[in-house]
Chain A
Amino acid sequence: MGFRADQNIDELIEEKLLSGAADTVADAEEQLLNESWDAVLELVGGPLTNQELGNHPLFRLFRVRGSRPREDDAL
C-alpha cells in the first residue's frame, strides 16, 4: 500500500487496472487516493510552491474526485 510522490499517477492507475485490483478507472483512482497519504505528506513537505502543487496530477485528482463543483465553477 502507498506510493512515492515521484511515481507517475497514470501508470499507477493503469497498474491497478491491469493487475485486476480495480475494475474501472474510477475505482482505481479511488484506491489510489486512499493510499496517497504518504505521497501527500512528501509533496506538501517538499520544495514545490502552492501553485506547482495545485497543478500536480495527484492534487488535481483530489479535486476531480472530491466535492462536486457548481456548473459555473471556474476551476
Chain B
Amino acid sequence: MRDVIYKRIIPCLDVDKGRVTRGVQYQNIKDIGDPLEYARKYDADGADELVFYDITASSDGREIDMGWANQVAEEVFMPLTIGGGVSTLEDCRRLHLAGADKISMDSGAVRNPDLIRIASDYFGAQCVVVSMQVKRRSNGRGWETFVKGGREATGMDALEWAVKAQTLGAGELVLNSIDGDGTKAGYDVALCAAVKEIVDIPVIASGGAGTLEDFLEVLTVGRADAALAASVFHYGTFTVGEVKRYLHDNGVPVRLLEE
C-alpha cells in the first residue's frame, strides 16, 4: 500500500469590488478581469483548488460583496477557499454560505487568535485556513508576521505564529512571502521548510513563483504540500497544466487530467 500525497497547484485571485486585480508587493494594483472568467479557465486547466482574497477588505475594515463568489461556486465545481477581512464567526458563515469550502483568515486571526478555535470548533479544522503575511527580518534572523496586506508589522515571529495557529485548530497554513509577492523571484523555500519542520498540517507556499523550477523547488526542498501562484498564471507565463506536467516529469506526484 502506497500512500501518496498529491501536491496541489492553486491559482490565487485577488478580488477588489468584484474584479480580479494584481500588484507587486501589494502595490500598484491593476484591474485584470472577471473572477468567473479566470475561475473557468483554471478549472479547465486542472487547478486543484482556487483561492480568492478580497485584498482591500482587511485594510478598509469593510465587508466583502459576495455576488462574484456565488457565481463562481455555482459554475465551477472544485474546492474554493475565500478570505479577506474575516474577523468574526459571522464573517466565516457568510463566506461559507457564499460557497467557500474553506475560509481563509489572516489579520483577523492575528488580532483575535481565538477566532481560529471558534471557527474550527464550528466548521471543523478542514474548513479553517490561516493565511500568514511573512517577511524576512532585516537582520537575517528568521521571519516576522505582518498584517493589513503586508503594510503593518506585528513583531510576532512567524514560526511561533504557525505553531500557535495549528494548536488553535487551523487545518492548513498559507505562507505568503511579502518579499516575494508578484516579483517572480522564487518562493521563500527556507521559510517553507522551516514551517514544515514544526507543524503537521498542510503548508501552502505563496509569493514569488516565476519559473517552473520555483514550483519544483518549494514542493521538494521546501516540502510544501501545495504551491499557490497568481501572476504567472494570470499573465499566461505558463498554465496550471504545464506546471503539473513539469512536476510529474520531475517525479513529483500531482493530479494530471486525462488527455
Are chains A and B native binding partners rather than an unrelated pairing? no
Chain B contact residues, CB within 8 Å of chain A: none
Chain A contact residues, CB within 8 Å of chain B: none
